[in-house]
Amino acid sequence: MRLSRDWPRVLRRAWSVRLMALAILLTAAEVGLPYLSDLLPARLMSALAGLSAGGAFVARLIAQKGFEDE
């Protein structure tokens, strides 16, 4: 395994990275969920985190505009 040559560009522009960051934020938000239990359904954050992680997996496999295979 090796680091991509344009990893800074990938970090800024790749949808897989954006969706994984969203999954991380949603997972972290689950910590505060007990305090918001009256406002949000019980498993909403878990479902959203799972969906965004799954989206990141799919986005990693799809060719994105502006990126070329090495």
Query: Which whole-number Å values give the CA distances from 69 to 16, 32, 41, 63, in the listed order?
Result: 15, 40, 42, 9
User: Rounded to whole angstroms, how far apart are CA atoms 54 and 67?
Assistant: 21
Q: Please state the rounded mean pLDDT for residues 39-46.
A: 75
User: Rounded to whole angstroms, how far apart are CA atoms 52 and 22?
Assistant: 7
Report pLDDT for 48: 85
Confidence of residue 40 (pLDDT cuts 50, 70, 90): confident
Q: Give start and end residues of each alpha helix (H) in the chain.
A: 7-13, 15-29, 44-61
Report pLDDT for 33: 73
User: Rounded to whole angstroms, how far apart are CA atoms 22 and 31?
Assistant: 15
Q: Please state the rounded mean pLDDT for residues 13-24.
A: 88
